[in-house]
Chains A and B, each alone.
Chain A
């Protein structure tokens, strides 16, 4: 997780929220929503599902706030809940995976300034293939991979999120990488793709 250390007075806000102060909980929601959304989007690959996960994450957090260990980082705790909510949602919708569909139109696909047509075409193809590769992962593999690759969580931390042993978590990451390599490697090599 990146930058999950909250502001210095976050511990006080959490204490107030645990005491039943909804205004304090609102502060926590407003502080962490964007980070939670980004993770939810990575995990689900689709904006609508991500928004559902954000909503469910904060609902679960609200109900479980009394169980939050104040020695932990609140952001890390929230991300754990997010990963669990997303995994639940992915398992439920496995029969109708949504990230194989068209990319969201609401967001700019790439942040690079003024990309040329070739770059755009290449980027779109990379995105399509990455989405296709991610769609082939099981919910556990996808969650493990996203947390390791995008969130820089250690395998031990991911194991705690998934409730699985370190060796099983490692295998989930290995399988995810293996599937992505199968999907992407031939194309990346063939097109001499040099990504930033």
Chain B
């Protein structure tokens, strides 16, 4: 494949020799000793592969395993392999059971969003500060909460859209999938920030939301009606939490509006 000037030694043989898998290493060693051109080629290969070793290898924190487990454990329960009484109770009390019609859930989401918009519109101006005025001690946190509030609002729109998707035969979720992909990096960022700042409840909701976004973003562009139904059952639970936490966060957060309330449009969706 890469036959080079030295007719007795191919590059493939040098690669296998480098990795200790040559069929006849003694022959190659002798050839390298006797042929300066072969030696030069092999030295160049060694330098290139040694350069590859310089690629930084990140070192996860000591408690990384515990972090992975904390994200994984609820998913294992969601997948329903082993269901206990706690899961049964949680499921029985989930909004999908308490408020079965999906339209009602969507309508509830709309009411919450309108109420939040009304409250925010009423109190927002009073909280504005002059340009250049230093942030109060809680300023950074409030800016973060404002951003998280907007993120939850956008996520809520996606969830409502999915909850109301038509489900006959194959369902095209390409747009929702792209939308989830866009939301995912921000969700990770906010989840980590919430974890680091000790906001356990917010972090838990963001974590749950992340799993839905991740499955959607990594899934196919078309799903079956049964898959959509499964997705909906997960969404109904998370949607309710996102509404509650989102409205709570947005009430606490918008003290220092710095950006237009209408986010930029990307990929056909407001993000």
Partner-B contacts on A (CB < 8 A): 20, 22, 25-26, 29-34, 37-38, 41-42, 47-48, 51-52, 54-56, 58-59, 62-63, 89, 92, 103-104, 106-111, 123, 126-127, 129-131, 133-134, 148-149, 154-155, 170-171, 173-174, 177-178, 180-181, 184-185, 188-189, 193-196
**Given A33-B60, A180-B48, A195-B51, 19 extra CB contacts under 8 A:** A29-B65, A34-B60, A37-B58, A52-B218, A55-B75, A56-B218, A92-B218, A111-B56, A123-B54, A126-B51, A130-B51, A133-B52, A148-B19, A149-B19, A155-B21, A170-B12, A178-B11, A181-B48, A188-B51
B47 with A195: CB separation less than 8 A:
yes
Of the A-B pairs whose beta carbons lie under 8 Å apart in the complex, a sample of 9, sorted by A's number, is: A34-B60, A37-B58, A37-B64, A111-B56, A133-B52, A184-B51, A193-B47, A195-B47, A196-B53
Q: B49 near A: Cβ within 8 Å?
A: yes
Among all A-B residue pairs, the 10 with the closest Cβ atoms? A30-B65, A107-B58, A33-B65, A195-B50, A33-B68, A109-B56, A126-B54, A184-B48, A130-B55, A29-B69
* Cβ-closest chain B residue relative to A171: B1
Q: Given A92-B218, A177-B15, are A195 and B53 neighbors across the interface (CB < 8 Å)?
A: yes
**Candidates A56, A58, A104, A173; contact of B15 at CB < 8 Å:** A173
Q: Is B44 an interface residue (CB 8 A)?
A: yes
Please, how many angstroms separate the alpha-carbon atoms of A56 and B71 in the complex?
Answer: 11
Indicate if the CB atoms of B56 and A127 lie closer than 8 Å: yes
A149 near B218 with CB under 8 A, answer no
Docked-complex contact B214 and A52, CB < 8 angstroms:
yes
Tell me which residues across on chain B come within 8 A of A130, comparing CB atoms.
51-52, 54-55
Which residues of chain A have C-beta atoms less than 8 A from B15's C-beta? Answer: 173-174, 177
Q: A34-B64, A174-B1 are in contact. Are A48 and B73 (CB under 8 A)?
A: no
User: Which of B76-84, B88-96, B119-127, B229-237 sits within the interface?
Assistant: B76-84
Complex Cα–Cα for A133 and B82 (A): 45
* B71:A33 contact, CB within 8 angstroms: no
Smallest CB gap from A108: residue in B: B56
Name the distance in Å between A3's Cβ and chain B's nearest Cβ.
14
Known interface pairs A59-B75, A63-B81, A148-B19; A30-B56 also in contact (CB < 8 Å): no
Task: Determine which of A26, A155, A180 lies in contact with B52 in the assembled complex, contact meaning CB atoms within 8 Å.
Answer: A180
B45 interface hit (Cβ, 8 Å): yes
Is residue B59 contacting chain A, with contact meaning CB distance below 8 A?
Answer: yes
User: Whose C-beta in chain A lies nearest to the C-beta of B15?
Assistant: A177
CB atoms of B49 and A177 under 8 A apart: yes
Query: Considering the chains assembled together, what is the distance between the CA atoms of A173 and B58 in angstroms?
Result: 24
A195–B56 alpha-carbon span in the complex (Å): 13
The one of B12, B57, B59, B185 that contacts A48, using a Cβ cutoff of 8 Å: B185
Tell me which residues across on chain A come within 8 A of B60, comparing CB atoms.
33-34, 37-38
Task: Tell me, in angstroms, the Cα distance from A188 to B2 when the chains sit together.
Answer: 20
CA–CA, A55 and B67, complex, Å: 11
**What is the CA–CA distance of A47 and B56 in the complex, to the nearest angstrom?**
12
Bound complex: CA A104 to CA B185 (Å): 13
Q: How far is the CA of A107 from the CA of B55 in the complex (A)?
A: 12
Which residue of A55, A103, A123 contacts B72 across the interface (Cβ within 8 Å)? A55
Residues of B within 8 A of A58 (CB): 68, 72
Q: Is B188 an interface residue (CB 8 A)?
A: yes
Contact of B79 among A31, A59, A107 (CB under 8 A): A59
Q: Is B218 in contact with A41, judged by CB distance below 8 angstroms?
A: no
A-facing residues in B1-57 (Cβ within 8 Å): 1-2, 11-12, 15-16, 19, 21, 44-45, 47-57
B68 in contact with A29 (CB, 8 Å): yes
From A26, which residue of chain B is reached at the shortest CB distance? B69
Is residue B85 within 8 Å, beta carbon to beta carbon, of the partner chain?
no
- Cα distance A108–B47 when bound, in Å? 23
**B259 at interface by CB-CB < 8 Å:** no
> Chain B residues with Cβ under 8 A from A41's Cβ?
57-58
Please name all residues of chain A whose beta carbon is closer than 8 Å to the beta carbon of B49 when the two chains form the complex. Answer: 149, 177, 180
Contact check: which of B52, B64, B75 meets A149 at CB < 8 Å?
A: B52
How many Å lie between the Cα of A185 and that of B42 in the bound state? Answer: 12
- Determine the distance from Cα of A22 to Cα of B124 in the docked complex, in whole angstroms: 48
Q: Does B66 belong to the interface (CB within 8 Å)? A: yes
A106 touches B12 (CB 8 A): no
